[in-house]
Structure 1
Amino acid sequence: MEYVLHKADTRGHANHGWLDSHHSFSFANYHNPERMNFGVLRVLNDDIVSAGMGFGTHPHQNMEIISIPLEGDLEHKDSLGNLSVIREGDIQILSAGTGISHSEYNRNKGEQVKFLQIWIFPNKSDLAPRYDQISIRNLQKKNEFYQVLSPNSDDDGVWINQEAWFSMGEFEKGVSCEYELHNKNNGVYIFVLEGSIRIDNNKLEKRDGFGIWKTDKLEVIADSNAKLLLMEVPMQIS
């Protein structure tokens, strides 16, 4: 078993006024050669967008881009003709493939939007671009992990072009939960959304990240009421 711990206050930070963003991995003007990625997990941005503001139209190519809203309403528009709003309890996938342009705006004039922006390297290049979003409210469970993303279109959650599985968990204080990897060659990156947990005697608090690999399972113990995002990803970029 090997692991890396990224404390919340060691992340890159950019405040553009309309956007306050923390970067778990190198992104834009934040460059840390020791934090370029975790396997195929390339970007994990913790974004706050001011009321009525947002990202203008911009392109992406050959990347799987996942958005998980935490608070507020985020409006999405893209070159495929999609116009939608994602909210807390939703998950969105933008499979950029051969190329897609999109914009994202805080739809509300009086409150912030908070969301996670996650980029995953795909396992195939130059595929047809694709967009999808779903509600994950009906998947939610207490005190166990529930899957919100996988490589399989028939599974719970959205699907992406990579052998990756995302799960979320909401745990009460004192609860322990085991996660078994789908592929022993994968690694797991856990991001703490709320509360505090322990993994193998490592204490993690709000917005800490913890990557673990060379294991086939792990145990999470909640030291307080906690909410987590767990990302199982290949450790080798194809």
Structure 2
Amino acid sequence: MIELRPFNSLGAANHGWLDAHHHFSFAGYHDPARMGWGALRVWNDDAIAAGTGFPTHPHADMEIITYVRDGAITHQDSLGNLGRTETGDVQVMSAGSGIRHSEYNRENDTTRIFQIWIIPDARGGAPTWGSKPFPQADRSGRFTVLASGIEGDADALPIRSNSRVLGLNLKAGDAAEYRFGEKRYGYLVPARGAVEVDGVRVNERDGLAIRDQASLKIVALEDAEVVLVDTIA
């Protein structure tokens, strides 16, 4: 089963400094049919104006993955971490028993991110944060695991969930395949470009909810950059 969720059907809130679109219920947007997808709870498509950002606030018991589409985001937290994550790269915060953090766009232009929240397999634990570059060339024509709690994904940023966040770059006309394990949920969003997934066109920033699929074939209709979450039911 695959279900297309066009970008114009997403929840939206423009706060001036933040132009946010929500694939799932979040903050002032509530849709009982879009409360999450498996362990995936949040996928926010955020545009953050230059010199602005999210002031210090708390989290607990959530895996928060930030994929930077354009620009850079600067993270600071109550553990003493301070870091800047650039276009195409990824940061992960395991909130665990509790952490306070801020996320600011210190750049001169708008920063655009996907903010992805995944429910951890267990509550509590010491909070952590990490960031890692993932060169675009390494994702050309194949999926690269960016964040994972699955054994064997040693090069990915660690998360505390039986889930993966993957990136894929395709040139127009090229194709790639992804195979799911049993009883898995998937959610796919093109960060750039349009793709066809098992015959369904998915435009830039559309969402595609996937369930009970053994595999997917992704064909790039134009040069494309794709993010996929593979998670438990």
Give the structure-2-normalised TM-score: 0.95
Which residue is equivalent to 2:106? 107
Cα offsets for 1:71-92 (capped at 9, x unmatched): 1121111001111111113211
Give the structure-1-normalised TM-score: 0.93
Is contact 1:79–1:100 with CA below 8 Å preserved after alignment?
Answer: yes
Which residue is equivalent to 1:136? 134
CA distance in structure 1 between the partners assigned to 2:172 and 2:153 by the alignment: 33
Is contact 2:69–2:191 with CA below 8 Å preserved after alignment?
Answer: no
CA distance in structure 2 between the partners assigned to 1:154 and 1:221 by the alignment: 25
Question: After the TM superposition, which residues 60-99 of structure 1 pair with which residues of structure 2 at under 5 Å, given as runs?
Answer: 60-99=59-98
CA distance in structure 1 between the partners assigned to 2:219 and 2:209 by the alignment: 16
Say whether residues 1:160 and 2:131 are aligned partners.
no
Which residue is equivalent to 2:40? 41
RMSD: 1.4
Question: After the TM superposition, which residues 23-42 of structure 1 pair with which residues of structure 2 at under 5 Å, given as runs?
Answer: 23-42=22-41
Q: Please report how far the alpha carbon of residue 153 of structure 1 lies from its aligned counterpart in structure 2 after TM superposition.
A: 7.9
Q: Please report how far the alpha carbon of residue 156 of structure 1 lies from its aligned counterpart in structure 2 after TM superposition.
A: 1.9
- Percent pairwise identity: 38
Say whether residues 1:120 and 2:118 are aligned partners.
yes
Q: How many residues align structurally? A: 232
Q: Which amino acid aligns with 2:48?
A: V
Q: 1:154 to 1:169 in 2, by over 3 A?
A: closer
Name which of 212, 215, 233 aligns with 1:214. Answer: 212
CA distance in structure 2 between the partners assigned to 1:177 and 1:124 by the alignment: 33
Is contact 1:70–1:116 with CA below 8 Å preserved after alignment?
Answer: yes
Cα offsets for 1:116-146 (capped at 9, x unmatched): 1110000010111111111112772312211
* Residue ranges of structure 1 left out of the alignment (5+ in a row): none
CA distance in structure 2 between the partners assigned to 1:146 and 1:202 by the alignment: 23
Q: 1:234 to 1:154 in 2, by over 3 A?
A: closer
Q: Which amino acid aligns with 1:71?
A: D
Q: Please report how far the alpha carbon of residue 57 of structure 1 lies from its aligned counterpart in structure 2 after TM superposition.
A: 0.5
Q: Which amino acid aligns with 1:187?
A: Y
Is contact 1:136–1:157 with CA below 8 Å preserved after alignment?
Answer: no
Q: 1:39 to 1:79 in 2, by over 3 A?
A: same
* Residue ranges of structure 2 left out of the alignment (5+ in a row): none
Moved over 3 A (4+): none
